Amino acid sequence: MRSHRLVLAALSTCCLLAALGAGAAGAAQVAYVEGGQVWISTLDGASKRSLSGPSPDEKTWTETAQAENGTVIGVRREPGKIGTLNATQLWGPDGSTIGYGSLTAKPGRTSYAYPVTLNLSPDGKIVTYGYSNWSGFGLETKYEFGTYAEGSSNWYIEPFDIEGAESGTLSGSRLVARSGSEVIVQNATGQPPYSKEFTPWFSWTGLRRAEVSANGKVLAVEVESGGHDVVAMFPVAGLGGALDELSACDLPTQGDASEVSLSADGTAMAWHDARGVVVAGTPVWFATPEAAICNLSSPPVVISTTGRMPSLGNSTAAVPPSTGGGGGGGTGGGAPPVPAAAPPKKGDDQKGGGKGADAPTLSPLPKTVKASTLANGLPITVKVTKAGQVTAVGKVGAQIVAKGGVKAKRAGKVTLRLKATKAWSKRLGQLAGKKLKVTVTAPGGTAKFTRTLG
């Protein structure tokens, strides 16, 4: 018998839902974080690639989420620093960069911790993220929990604040959150997720988080039970509707389980447990409460033994059309085939020719640059047409030897420093006479140039 206690706001004695299918058609691929990078993989783990590549600066890729349409967002934060010091990047379903930004917060807090949770609206244009902020000191300390909502790219103003809605996830565009031990559902009126109107759904002792498929037919409840984090699964009759406790089952997980993600049509799921990132088909429902462990429509597949924060959606980026394959099979396999930037326009190399509707332009640099300059950083002035993150990567042959980045707050010129990576900082003399190929990426396009290292 189940040891955790469920108190339902509404129970149903109607017939159980029909089996939800044995396949994973509703979720083409899974995004996750591994080794400080954002990855995308097919659901069988056979084809995967890094969307982000290594971080261009001291920040590390720490969180990701995927929209129903396959848009993926990644968050970079410097370890040990407050949440406001972050940068985001947005990739389209094909893996191409489509935006940059930064998750923001209401001002006036002493410390900021976010994103605690991270989600994208079905079209990828809105991001919601949980926060745990505090202000004041000592006995005057005030803790605040809730969820922010804002545009997913090119967004630098205060977010919409939904106080008290903790551990928020999205079912379509509506927020499903926790308020103490109660699951609450954002009302369909207004413009979800920009709404503070919620209706209680059910209560559960030890509640951590709830996830509902976009079609409102499958519910996953993460709870603490007996000192362990477990996941209970339910078929449901619509978001916020009746569910039948007798049809519940526990996921066959290993160790503590969390971070459940459901496909939009409720046929596939992903989660994190002691094995890493795991993908499987959702349960085939049954009418006998004695069968407490879920009978899954397709068996669990471990995508990454060191990955975390899985998120399902209809991305196609793990198998780029140009290559016909991803970054290799196996967990975390191989060097990530990061999409190449567009080549410079012929005859425009001195100014850093680029491609894209709003491609950046670069101020002229000498044709020969001392390799030692990379120790403190080679200054590169970039003219951008819109706000966002600007990054530069310098390669000699196939090896990345230098990186740099800066955030443009508005259209105009910004200067970044292309600085040697830690691996090359003490052996720059080996680069003398080599060709340094630099790719600058900015909102709207990319630019390339090549210089000789003296």
Do 302 and 381 lie in one domain? The reply is no
- Beta-ladder partners of 179: 182
* Together in a domain, 12 and 157: yes
CB 446 within 8 A of CB 360: yes
d(CA 406, CA 329): 34
Domain boundary among the residues 255, 287, 313 is at 313
| 244, amino acid identity | D
| Stretch among 89-93, 167-171, 330-334, 443-447 having the lowest mean pLDDT | 330-334
- Burial readout 190-210 (b: 16 or more C-beta within 10 A, e: otherwise): eebbbbeebeebbbbebbbbb
* Whether 303 and 175 share a structural domain: yes
CB 268 within 8 A of CB 260: no
Question: Given a cut of 70, is residue 161 above it in pLDDT?
Answer: yes
342 versus 202: the higher-pLDDT residue is: 202
| Residues 291 and 304: beta-carbon distance below 8 Å | no
Residues 357 and 309 both lie in one domain: no
Collapsing DSSP states into helix, strand and coil, what is residue 162?
A: strand
Peptide bond into 193 cis (omega under 30): yes
Residues 139-170 as b/e (b if ≥16 CB within 10 A, e otherwise) read eeeeeebbbbbbebbebeeebbbbebbbbbbb
For residues 118 and 64, is the Cβ–Cβ distance under 8 A? Answer: yes
Q: Enter the tokens of residue 302.
A: 């471990």
Lowest mean pLDDT among 112-121, 172-181, 378-387: 378-387
Give, in order, the Cα–Cα distances in Å from 368 to each of 57, 274, 372, 433, 450.
25, 52, 12, 9, 9
- The whole domain housing 364 covers 349-453
pLDDT of residue 424: 87
Number of domains in the chain: 2
Instruction: Determine contact, residues 263/1, Cβ cutoff 8 Å.
Output: no
Q: What pLDDT is recorded for position 371? A: 86
Beta sheet of 182-186, edge-to-edge order: 6-8, 198-204, 182-186, 174-179, 166-171
Is 1 a member of any domain? no
In a domain, 338, yes or no: no
Q: Are residues 94 and 180 in the same domain?
A: yes
Q: pLDDT tier at 261 (50, 70, 90 boundaries)?
A: very high
Lowest average pLDDT, out of 75-84, 328-337, 384-393, goes to 328-337
374 and 416 Cβ atoms separated by less than 8 Å: no
Same domain, 176 and 85: yes
Choose among 127, 137, 162, 159: nearest CA to 147: 162
Do residue 353 and residue 280 come from a single domain? no
| pLDDT of 342 higher than 80 | no
Closest by Cα among 268, 286, 293, 246 to 21: 268
> What pLDDT score does 320 carry?
66
HSE toward the beta carbon, residue 201, CA cutoff 13 A: 26
Handedness of CA 343, 347, 348, 351 (dihedral sign): positive
Residue 249 lies in a domain: yes
Quote the Cα angle for 1-301-234, to 5°: 35
88 shares its domain with 136: yes
Does residue 287 sit in the same domain as residue 355? no
Q: Residue 388: is its pLDDT beyond 60?
A: yes
Q: What is the mean pLDDT of residues 353-381?
A: 77
Has residue 199 been placed in a domain? yes
Question: Of the candidates 313, 330, 364, which is a domain's last residue?
Answer: 313
Report strand pairing: 368-369 vs 445-453: parallel
- Does 59 lie in the same domain as 110? yes
Query: Hunting for tokens 């052996």 — which residue is that?
Result: 427
- Which residue's entry shows tokens 């149903």? 12
Helix ranges (H only) for 69-125 are: none
Encoded tokens for 245: 């406790």
Residue 16 is predicted with a pLDDT of: 31
Instruction: Give the range among 5-9, 199-203, 259-263, 269-273 with minimum mean pLDDT.
Output: 5-9
Question: Domain containing 309 — which CATH number?
Answer: 2.120.10.30
CA distance 250 to 272: 14
3-state secondary structure of 139: helix
When pLDDT is averaged across residues 424-431 and rounded to a whole number, the result is 87
Pair (80, 130) in one structural domain: yes
Residue type, 164: G
Average pLDDT score, the chain: 84
Give a yes or no: residue 440 inside a domain: yes
The CATH number of residue 373's host domain is: 2.60.40
Antiparallel, parallel or unpaired: β 445-453 and 435-442:
antiparallel
11 - beta bridge partners?
A: 243
Which one, of 271, 275, 177, 184, lies nearest residue 232 by Cα?
271
Q: What percent of the chain has pLDDT over 90?
A: 55
Please report the pLDDT score of residue 331 as a whole number.
34
Does any domain span residue 321? Answer: no
Closest to 168 in 3D by CA, of 210, 133, 197, 201: 210
Answer with the one of 298, 313, 328 that is the final residue of a domain.
Answer: 313
pLDDT of residue 336: 37
Residues 400 and 306 reside in one and the same domain? no
- 328 falls within a domain: no
Lowest mean pLDDT among 115-129, 238-252, 351-365: 351-365
- Tell me the average pLDDT across 19-41: 74
- Residue 276's nearest CA partner among 228, 249, 229, 310 is 310
Q: Could you give the 3-state DSSP secondary structure of residue 350?
A: helix
Residue 362 lies in a domain: yes
